[in-house]
Amino acid sequence: MTNQEPNQREGKLRDLLILVPYVKPHQAKLWSAVALMIVSSLVSIALPMFMREAVDTHIMAHDLRGLVSLIAIAFALIIVMTVANILRGRLMAKMGQDSIRALRDDLFAYMQKLPVQFFDKIPVGKLITRLTSDVDALRDLVGNAIVAMVIDSLRLVGFLVLMFWLDWRLTVITLLISPILVYAMTFLTSRIRKAEDQVREQASLVNANLQESISGIKVIQGFQAEEHFHEQFQVENHSLLQAGMKAIATYAFFWPTIDLAWILSIAAIFLFGGQWVLDGTTTPGILVAFIAYTDQFFGPLRSLSQAYRIIQRALAGAVRIKRIMTTETEVNKNLKPMPKIIGRVEFQNVTFGYDPGEIVLHDISFTAEPGQTVALVGHTGAGKTSIINLLCRFYDPIEGRIAVDGLNIQEHDLESYRRQIGLVLQEPFLFSGTLRDNIRFGAPQATDEQIWDALKTVGLAETFIKNRITLDTILTERGANFSTGQRQLLSFARALISDPRILILDEATAHVDTLTEQKVQQALAKLLAGRTSFVIAHRLSTIRNADLIIVISDGRILESGTHEQLLTLKGEYWQLCNSQNIVQIS
């Protein structure tokens, strides 16, 4: 769905409307900045006229006092302009930062709710780079470009009007030079932009690469694959260098070309203007003022071309951000909330594939009665986790229907549904923070007593007390200061606290040793009691007591029934049990 990143040049001005709600609260700042900019623009438009006045009226007439007072007035105006510019810069920067902070907040909240599919298709590093640079592009737009665009256009018009009024012939000469400028502004800037796009793209690849190799550092070092990853990184890094060099090479043309245009205009103005002063058709003051105007004329042109680039980048960013913010609403279609459920789960002829062309689950149907424990059994890759993914609505089936208490889960609000599901995975998600926060993750209002009770139930309390671990103990990233088994039990405690109606354990007991396993079995029994539970475990001893065992193979249900029923079938399950010496035990 969202795997194609839009091209930089895509995006319409309309897409920038996503900024309106963020800029609106800062309207006062915006308008003050506009007012300040109008003041400073008026001064900058007027200043060359002072030069004309100084030369023609005062210098030519040897009027020193008049000259001094004229300069004093001009000086005062320049101070006004400078102060206005400083204030405007601060106001706009503040507005840019404030509104973009709010946008970044919202974006983060949206991202957290995006369908899992979204993340399947874009590497995390790339997503992060994209989002940070997209947000920055919008900040540049809000904090600078919007106002600059309007005011620079006004200044340009102001300059042109005054220039024509002073001497239309000189104005025509200045404008004759403008094709060089137009070339620099359009052709060169579009090449620079392309090169910069490539730099950004390449930078995001480097980041994705970095992110991957940092999170896999243990495996990489363990397998001594550093060289391989380094080589890969060198390749990406080299491409980044090349993209950067290309951008710089193009950029190296830009300013000299602009300067050339400027110097040519000044030379032409001196050449023709000088003659016209001599033949009396224009005055020295006008010539001086004109040179000042020509100089100033280039300023807004430059910043307009910069603003144009910022707008292009912001447009591309806005499209991607908008895409994220609208993806979310596709899921949350304002559905009615899922009422409090009892926990009867039905799969009705469910067919599913992560890629519609590649079916992973074929025509799956089964019913789990409230409170039952259902075990999903099958070889690796059979589709067990995929069934769970559908039940959690990380994905939606292609065909068929999943109902809980008879209600189609696709027709009900996701949040209110998921709140009633507990998910314990093989690799528990622990985050940096206190033990307390990690355990009451799904039930923030849980008291310390409840947390300790849960820890007791899963058999962790004793060890924790012995090792002086309190609820305030800080977990380092991903709970690295706990053993894998302890992390697993922590995630049991977390599930207990949030007290879900439907509980899912996907390979959740894989890390627990046989000694603790007895404890775990007791903990599990308490955890599963009174809830509809789905248990996936390769170790079949964990699931013998299940009310319903479903054997999956290649995405199809092969057999289902209780342990005893399935053994008498002497089919796939019987074989699986044989391979784990379970038959004898039973």
378 binds ligand TTP (CB under 6 A): yes
Candidate ranges 92-100, 381-389, 392-400, 428-436; the one touching Mg ion (CB under 5 A): 381-389
Candidate ranges 35-43, 277-285, 377-385, 577-585; the one touching ligand TTP (CB under 6 A): 377-385
Q: Which of 134, 155, 548, 569 is nearest to 365 (CA)?
A: 548
Candidate ranges 151-159, 167-175, 380-388, 403-411; the one touching Mg ion (CB under 5 A): 380-388
Candidate ranges 87-95, 274-282, 382-390, 508-516; the one touching ligand TTP (CB under 6 A): 382-390
- Identity of the residue, 191 or 556, whose beta carbon is nearer to ligand TTP in the bound complex: 556
User: CA of 232: how far to CAs of 209, 235, 487, in Å?
Assistant: 8, 5, 34
What's the CA gap between 31 and 35, in Å, rounded?
Answer: 6
- Identity of the residue, 70 or 122, whose beta carbon is nearer to ligand TTP in the bound complex: 122
400 φ/ψ angles, rounded to the nearest 5 degrees: 90, -175
What's the CA gap between 32 and 94, in Å, rounded?
Answer: 12
Q: Which of 360, 346, 344, 345 is nearest to 398 (CA)?
A: 360
- Identity of the residue, 360 or 493, whose beta carbon is nearer to ligand TTP in the bound complex: 360
Candidate ranges 340-348, 383-391, 430-438, 566-574; the one touching ligand TTP (CB under 6 A): 383-391
Site track for ligand TTP across 331-370, x = CB under 6 A: -----------------------x-----x----------
Burial (CB count <10 Å: 0-12, 13-18, 19+), residue 506: buried
Which residues make beta-bridge pairs with 346?
A: 367, 403
Q: At its nearest, how many Å lie between Mg ion and the CB of residue 442?
A: 22
Query: What stretch of H or E contains 508?
Result: none
428 binds ligand TTP (CB under 6 A): no
The answer to whether 315 and 16 have CB atoms below 8 angstroms apart is yes
294 binds Mg ion (CB under 5 A): no
* Size of interface with Mg ion, in residues (CB under 5 A): 1
Q: Which of 191, 194, 214 is nearest to 202 (CA)?
A: 194
- Identity of the residue, 166 or 549, whose beta carbon is nearer to ligand TTP in the bound complex: 549
Burial (CB count <10 Å: 0-12, 13-18, 19+), residue 542: buried
Q: At its nearest, how many Å lie between Mg ion and the CB of residue 382?
A: 8
Binding at 380: pick from Mg ion, ligand TTP, none (beta carbon under 5-8 Å per type): ligand TTP
What's the CA gap between 192 and 134, in Å, rounded?
Answer: 18
380 binds ligand TTP (CB under 6 A): yes
385 binds ligand TTP (CB under 6 A): yes
Candidate ranges 134-142, 327-335, 376-384, 567-575; the one touching ligand TTP (CB under 6 A): 376-384
Long-range contacts of 156-163 (CB under 8 A, 24+ apart): 156/297, 156/300, 156/301, 156/304, 158/41, 158/42, 158/45, 159/45, 159/293, 159/296, 159/297, 159/300, 160/297, 162/45, 162/48, 162/49, 162/293, 163/290, 163/293, 163/297
265 binds ligand TTP (CB under 6 A): no
382 binds ligand TTP (CB under 6 A): yes
Binding at 274: pick from Mg ion, ligand TTP, none (beta carbon under 5-8 Å per type): none
- Identity of the residue, 173 or 502, whose beta carbon is nearer to Mg ion in the bound complex: 502
Q: Say which residue the tokens 């249900």 belong to.
A: 557
509 binds ligand TTP (CB under 6 A): no
Binding at 354: pick from ligand TTP, Mg ion, none (beta carbon under 5-8 Å per type): ligand TTP
Angle between helices 146-166 and 284-331 (to 10 degrees): 160
What's the Rg (C-alpha) of the chain?
35
451 φ/ψ angles, rounded to the nearest 5 degrees: -65, -45
Candidate ranges 147-155, 378-386, 398-406, 557-565; the one touching ligand TTP (CB under 6 A): 378-386
386 binds ligand TTP (CB under 6 A): yes
509 binds Mg ion (CB under 5 A): no
Binding at 382: pick from ligand TTP, Mg ion, none (beta carbon under 5-8 Å per type): ligand TTP
385 binds Mg ion (CB under 5 A): yes
Binding site residues, Mg ion, CB under 5 A: 385
Binding site residues, ligand TTP, CB under 6 A: 354, 360, 378, 380-386
